[in-house]
Each structure stands twice: as structure tokens, then as C-alpha cells.
Chains A and B, each alone.
Chain A
Amino acid sequence: MRIWVPILLIAAGLATLIIFGVLHGSVPELQVRELLAEKPVGREIKLHGIIERIHSEVRPLRFTIRDKTDPAILCEVEVDDFRPDIFKVKTDVAVRGVYLPEQGLLRADWISTKCPSKYEASQELGGPTESGQ
């Protein structure tokens, strides 16, 4: 048997995995303005925004997030989970769930706040003080 036969089989399997994966296991990523413009119903989405107000820090979490480019565009979010560590106003957040247009609410079961890791710029340097705070 030629070596190309198993290689082609692997390539075919790889292509199948990729196509199957992206067709059945991908989720749209939206900004708040895109969510409110499109209002996708019954479809799971991942929403990115910035926490504007926190209404409840206990499960289920309830808060308002705003669009990253237009602070006037807001959306209510309810997450059936405990409060993550970095959960405060002005934090970048991503939630995954289904939008309920009649309630103007995104009901989510997954939340991730951005880990302010190594490559975090001094975003909050609107006002450092002499003591560094």
C-alpha cells in the first residue's frame, strides 16, 4: 500500500472534523450593538461588552453591560452561575446564552471576565495617583 493512502485518509478525516466542528459547534460572537440590531431569537450567542451596573452579585447574577464603542447601548444579562473573581463595573465580560427580546434580557449559563494577564495595558491609567492607586 502506498503511503499516500493513509495520509489522504487522515486529511479526509481532518477535513471532516473541521467542517463538522464549525458547522455544529460554533457560536456567533456579538457586541451589544450587534445583538440589539439583529435580535437573534432562540439561537445561542456569545456576547461581549463592559459591565455597566451590577444588580445582583448572588446566583443568578444580574447586571447591565454596555457596548464597547457606544456606551449608550445597554443590555440586561442574567447568568445562572456564581460570581467570578474579577466581577466589577468597567470589567470586560463575555457571556454565552440566549437572547429573550420580549424581556430585553440575555439569559446565560456561562460567564467569563477578562483575565488581566501579562499583556494588559495600563487601560485604567486615566488617573494614576502619586501613590500608584
Chain B
Amino acid sequence: MPEFGYLDFSRSLNWVALGLNAFAILAALIGLATRDRRWVRCARNALIGNAFVLVASAGGLIAGFVNGAYEVEYIHDYSERALPLGYKIAGLWAGLDGSILFWAMLLSILSALVAFRFRKEEAHPVGARLEPHVYIVLAVIQVFFVCVVAFAVNPFETFAEARGEEFFRQHFPSGRVEDGAGLTPLLVNYWMQIHPPCMYTAWVTYTIPFAFGIAALLAGEHGLYWIRKVRRWMLAGWFLNTAGCVLGGLWAYEVLGWGGYWAWDPVENASIITWFPATAFLHSIMIQERRGMLKIWNAALISLTYFLTIFGTWLTRSGAVASFHSFANGTVGAWFAIFMAVIAAVVLFLLVYRRREFRAENRIKSIFSREAIFVLNNTILIAISAVIVIFTLYPLITYAFFRETMSVKIPVFNLACGALFVVLLALTAIGPGTGWVYTSGRNFLRNYAWAGVVSLPLAAIVHAIAMSVHQQGGEGEATIAEQIYPTAVIDYLGVFIVVSLALEVWRTARNRMARRNETIGAAIATIFVKNSRRYGGYVVHVGLALMAIGIVNSSMLSIERSVELEEGQSVAIGDYVLKMVEAESDKEFPVYERTTVQMNLMHDGATIANLVPERRLYRKKQQVVSEPEIHHRLLQDVYVFFQNTNQAGVFEFKFYRKPLIGLVWLGWLTMLAGGLWAAVPIGRRRVGLAE
């Protein structure tokens, strides 16, 4: 493979990375032992250099994808010449082997960023003390990932190396591999270029707070320094985790054609279990900052979040639990299992060892206090994560104890997580208006009585909108216990959160207006700018409330209909009519041929939209992929899925009406906006807009 010699070079760079990380560990250890800062700077430079090395290594693999180095088995399996450039680049994370290299590369970049920023922390006694510990943790983790790339999942391996010269000669007698097998058709979608990198970056970002947490435990440093250093990293991880989970759901909703966005599949579960402890941490650090409490708990939460990223990786790569998603490579599962055991052992030891230094400075004095609400919120968040982990692992648990594999059905996931979410929403509703240390009943009522009253008619309106879609669908009466009560409760709690926060902002702005003679707009803008962290958090709560309303109504009150139509025929779904106009075949596309169906969506006799669902046949894999068409509106989506054409030439469709599903995506964007705002350090640098 002489023209792809850079791939051999890229592969050898992994060994350089291994050497640099090993050197970083050694230098940091010597720096710790001798208190000689020069060694610590050596470790810092090694980590920065390591980023260049791993970026070059991954860059080489990407170049192989772009230039068509199909002699490399991994490149052959996940690409082909006809793919557009974006999908060729996405080949890096399209398969197991490349994704681990991608992970190592991301980690090296973030580690280098940490190392780079430590240059300014040398004068800070705590920063200088933590620095070598942080480097050791980061370098050890990188050694692990580089070793997995080098020994378990080498993405640079050629066919001849992986399967032997004889196999290569037998299948490629000319000695060349002219084209690749092509990316799996379901992945030939623009989400492929967004969702996986987002999720990987989230998980890798959680490594940084973990490194600081372990460094703090190793150094016995229980002050606020490390907590303040990691907050923004954790927020970045949380932001990307939130984005990644919902992008995955959006991808499933827009592509997979079952009208849903979440199926509690192990791969999906792996992506969300980290979100809960990360969210818990972002709340509980406030208690440590304000009241000097929950120090050991915060170190535990940060460790749990990182542990769950490795657990999720093990879950998705080991094939331990059956999934809709394909798995492979049992060997890599063993690597991650061992790594998990090491993390768990080290963290548990350190938590026990440092329990005295990390003891709380205060105690919770009343259950009617913000710190108590936060503790309960943390408990619920961890409980949700625990439920998901236990239910996901249930097949393994039952097999281990009873030699029978049992799996938990989706409604049970919904019921258990839904029940816990109701409590979480209730705590979210009352948390912001509850004061530190103690809140009297009178204050509590003053903060929430109006919100409670105003929310009732608003929630009734929201509920009526969703119910009207359901009833128009002719699905029969909604059942009180299974549909009406749960949706009504969540609608009320969601509206209550939005209204109570709006009133809180209004009260604060009104006080400011009275004191400073500002306009309402300037007062609101100022409080948002001056306390971006607090009000960014409130925006996140509003987003969560909107999402909760959207999720519960779109899933519990949706309408689904399977029908068969011929050209010219129509079907009514309540007050909407879908008419099939014509079908058309098109074979001009490079990697697939498609059949599209023209449909008219009509309401009150008038056409309100033309919908064109399609089915694609990917030539190389001989695989059919349907592309649903969705008529998006804030209050409801109409979703058309062209399922199949049967032998009699009749077209099979699935139609869905999803009330309030737009709130899921709107709430998600609101959460992201709030998270971004909370991360911005704007309030501590600038004065208010009106000043």
C-alpha cells in the first residue's frame, strides 16, 4: 500500500502517544516527589504534545477515508467512493475501531487545553498542588485508550494483517481493493455527522471534572478551588450530553419511521444515564459553595458520572445486553470491564480514605430549605439513573441468578422513570423559591400561591389542546388512569414551573425598577446578565418543563394508524385527510434508488401540505430504508411513514398524529440556551446594561 504510507505513519503515532503519556505520568510523579516544578512543566508539555500526535494519527485515518485506502479493513467496511466527503470523514466514528481513536483524540485535545490553562495557575498554591495529580489521572486514562486502539481495535489494520495474506489474495486477486463496502444506509444521514461527535465529546468532557475530582481526593484538597474549576467543564459536558441525547432522539424520529424518539434501548440508555449524575452535580456544587456541605458527595457524583461513561461504553461495545443496535467485538468489552473495576476500586478507596477531610462544615437545619430540596433532587436524579441501569442490566442479572434471561418492557421503564420524574418536576417547581437554611410556610406560600392558582387554567388549556388532537383521531375515549391523570399532572407541574419562574423574574425586576428607575426590559436584561448562572439555570428549568409536557402528551395521547392505499385513495385521521396522489421511481442517485409517494394533507377540504415520504434501496448493501415525511407544527405533528409496497401494488403506510411534540424540541433548545447562558462568565465581568 505504498501510496498510503501516511497510514503506517499515523499508526506508529499511537506508540508515540503512548510514550508521551507514560512520560507525563513519570514526570508528574517525580514532580510530586521532588516538588520540582520543572518536572510538572515537562508533564504539561508532554500532554500538549500528545494532542498534536493523536490529532495527526486520527487525521491520517480521515485522509485514508477521503483518499479511498480500502486495503485498510476498517476504511473498507465503513466507506465507499460514491459517498459525499462529509460521510467519508464521519467514517472515523462510524465503527467501533475508529470511534475509540476518535475518543482518544478528543481526550488528548481536552487534556491539552487543561494543561495549557494550568500555565496561569502556577502561582495559585492549590492549583500548583493539584496540577501534577490532574496530569497523572488524565495521562493514565489516555494510556488506557491508546492501548485499546493499539492492541484491541486497531483501525489501521489492513486486510492482509487482519485476515491473512491468503484471504487477501483470494478475495482481491489484483492485489488492490478498489472500493469500500459502503456506510450502513441508516447512517447515511446528516445526523450522522452531528449526533455521534456530540455524544462522544460529552463523554470525553466528563473526564476533566473526574480528573480534578480524583486529584482533589489524592491531594486531600477539599476547598472550593477544584469545584470552581470543574463547574464549567461539567456544564460543557452536560450541555453536549443534553444535545447528544435529544439529537439521537430527533434522528430516530425523523429517520426510523416508528413515530417515536426513545425506545429505552441499551444504547440510548447508555447515553442518558450520565446526564442524571451530571445534573445532580451541577445542583449540589451550589450547596458546597454556599454552605460547605456535600463535599464527599460531589466527589462521588463526579466519579459516578465518569464511571457511567465507561459503563455505557462497555454496555454498547461488549454485546452483553441485546440491543436494536448491532454490537461487535467482545474483546473490547473485557478491556472496558477491567477499566471500570479499576476506576470503582480507586474511587471507593479514595472516598473512604478522605472521608474525614471532606466532612461537611454545616448540617441541613430544615427540610424546608433549598439545600434539603437539592439533596432530594439529587436523590431522585440518581434514582432515575439507577432504575435505568438496573432495568437495562436485568437480562444479565436474571441470567446470573436464575439462568433465565428476562428483559423489562418499555411500559415499565416509562412507569418507573415517569413516576420519579413527577417528583423531580415537583422539586424543580419549588426549589428556586425556597430559601437557604430555612423557609417559613408564609414565605413559601407568598412565593407560590399565585403561581399555583394561575397555573391551573393555563394547564387546563394545554391539556385540552392535547386531548382535542387525541379525540379528533377517533381513537376512542382516553383512559383516565393511563392517559388523562398522568398527562394532566405533568401538564400542571410543567406550567407551574414556567409560571413560578416567570413570577420570580417579574418580582426581582419590579424591585429593581423601583430602586433604580429602570424600564421593565432593562431590569430583566440586567438581572439575567448580572446573574447569568442563576437565571441560565431558570431557563434550563423552563426548557425541562416544556420537554416534559411535550414528551408525556406526544407519547400518551398520540394517534397511530396503519393503512393500505392505492393511487387516488384517501384516508381520514380525525379531521385530517391524507390522499395518495402518485408514486414515482428515481434511479439517478449515486448510492441508492428511491420511490417517492406524493401525498396531500387536507383539512376542511383544503390541502394544507404536500408530503413526500420515500423508500430508498441502497444498491451495495441491498438494504431498504424508508424516509418518513413530517408536517411539523408546534401543537401537533402529522407523520407519514411509507412502509412498503406489497405484491399487489398496494402501498402500505403508517400515520401518526403527535400532540405537542414540538414542545419537546422547543424545550430542548431552551435547555441548551439556558445551559449556555449559565456557563457564560458575563455577569462577573460587566456591570448591568442599565448602569
Contacts and interface: CB of A to CB of B under 8 A. Distances in A.
Nearest to B367: A1
A14 to B, nearest CB: 5
Contact of A10 (B174, B322, B376, B646): B376
Contact of A28 (B73, B180, B404, B626): B404
A17 B387 contact: yes
A127 B171 contact: yes
B372 interface: yes
B89 interface: no
A59 B327 CA distance: 29
B367 A117 contact: no
Contacts of A117: 184, 186-187, 267, 324-326
Nearest to B95: A118
B325 A48 contact: no
Contacts of B267: 117
Residue among B76, B94, B406 having the largest count of chain A Cβ atoms under 10 Å: B406
Contacts of A10: 376, 379-380, 383, 423
A3 interface: yes
Interface residues on A, range: 35 or more
B571 interface: no
A94 B263 CA distance: 15
A132 interface: yes
B96 A119 contact: yes
Contacts of A22: 391, 394, 406, 408, 412
B327 A132 contact: no
Interface string A104-133: 000000001011111111110101111111
A27 interface: yes
A7 B379 contact: yes
Contact of B375 (A3, A11, A29): A3
A115 B407 contact: no
Contact of B644 (A11, A28, A82): A82
Contacts of A30: 405
Interface residues of B, number: 81
B317 interface: yes
A42 interface: no
Contacts of A130: 171-174, 176-179
Contacts of B416: 17-18, 21
B623 A85 contact: yes
Interface in A79-119: 82-83, 85-86, 88, 92, 94, 112, 114-119
Residue among A46, A88, A115 having the largest count of chain B Cβ atoms under 10 Å: A115
B95 A120 contact: yes
A58 interface: yes
B163 to A, nearest CB: 8
A14 B387 contact: yes
6 contacts: A29-B407, A116-B184, A116-B623, A119-B329, A121-B326, A132-B181
Q: Which 6 A-B pairs have the closest CB atoms?
A: A25-B412, A121-B328, A132-B179, A120-B326, A117-B325, A21-B412
Interface of B: 70, 73, 76-77, 80, 93-96, 99, 163, 171-174, 176-182, 184, 186-187, 196, 256-257, 267, 316-317, 322-329, 364, 367, 372, 375-376, 379-380, 383, 386-387, 390-391, 394-395, 398, 404-409, 411-413, 415-416, 419-420, 423, 562, 620, 622-626, 643-644, 646-647, 652, 654
Given A10-B423, A132-B177, 19 more contacts: A3-B364, A10-B376, A11-B379, A21-B415, A25-B408, A29-B395, A48-B322, A57-B647, A82-B643, A83-B644, A83-B652, A115-B256, A119-B328, A120-B328, A121-B329, A130-B174, A131-B179, A132-B80, A132-B182
